[in-house]
Amino acid sequence: MESALFYILSAVTVTGTAFAITEKHAVHAIVYLVTSFFALAVIFFLLGAPVVAIFEVIIYAGAIMVLFLFVIMMLDLGHPERARLPGIREWWPALALGTVTLASALALVVSRAPAISAPGKAIGVKEFALALFGKYGVAVEVISMQLLFALVGALYLARKR
């Protein structure tokens, strides 16, 4: 079942991303991107990386996309004066993709398949943390500094003169 789910979810991810690129309306594009992120999260779960799956949902589908939406609202690109509930013809692909993703996730839950498909065991939070702060300790430090300096740079470039 895992391999079948993998191919279905991959198709969902690719289709969702393709819609996100071709969609003219920025908000619609973001909704498709979120759909593809959800499918990707389930793929990560299938591959034995539940922690990464959670991150994908919380950080990418959640935080970053909400940030995108806020920016679009702030920039007023979405024509809020013409806001209305979109007709089913506009959003059925997103609905279909989302349903497939949800069904796959439910199928996984119901069948209680251990989150394993690749050889090896599922990597939980503890193993993840040990690798992150042990093996990749220097990388974590570098990333934290990079965030600091990206912030400094963004402040410098965006500051009022």
Partner 1 sequence: METIAIPAINFAPIMPEVILSIFAMVLLLVNVFVPSEHKAYLGYLSLVGLIVAGFTLIGGWGVPLSAFNDSVVRDNFSIFFKGIFLLTVGMSILISDQYFKREECNLGELYPLLLFATVGMMLMASGTDLMTIFLGLEVLSVSLYILAGFNRANVKSNEAGLKYFLLGAFSTGFLLYGMALTYGATGTTRVVKIAEYVSQNGVVAQNPMFVIGMLLMAVGFSFKIAAAPFHMWTPDVYEGAPTPMTAFMSAGPKAAGFAAFMRVAIIAFPSLKADWSDLLWILAVLTMTIGNLIALNQDNIKRMLAYSSIAHAGYALVGFTAGNAEGTAGILFYMLSYAFMNIGAFAIIVLVGKKGEANNNVMDYAGFGTKHPVLALAMAVFLFSLAGMPPTAGFIGKFYLFSGAIKAGYVWLAIIGVLNSAASVYYYLRVMVYMYMKDPVEEFDWMKLTPAVAICIIIAVVGVLLPGVVPAFLLNLAQQAVLL
Q: Is 137 in the site for partner 1 (CB under 8 A)?
A: yes
Q: Which residue, 102 or 116, is less far from partner 1 as judged by CB?
A: 116
Q: Is 135 in the site for partner 1 (CB under 8 A)?
A: yes
CB of 138 to partner 1, least distance (A): 4
Query: Of the candidates 3, 12, 5, which has an alpha carbon nearest to the alpha carbon of residue 105?
Result: 5
19's tokens: 């819609």
Distances (CA, A) of 51 to 58, 127, 132, 135, 143: 11, 10, 12, 17, 19
Q: Which residue, 55 or 91, is less far from partner 1 as judged by CB?
A: 55
- Residue owning tokens 């439910």: 106
161's tokens: 């003169």
Among 18, 102, 125, 130, the residue binding partner 1 under the rule CB under 8 A is: 130
Q: Which residue, 59 or 152, is less far from partner 1 as judged by CB?
A: 152
How many angstroms separate the CA atoms of 63 and 56, rounded? 10
Binding characters for partner 1, 73-112, by CB under 8 A (x = yes)? ----------------------------------------
| CA 94 from centre of chain | 15
Query: Residues in the site for partner 1, rule: CB under 8 A?
Result: 130, 134-139, 142-143, 145-146, 148-150, 152-153, 156-157, 161
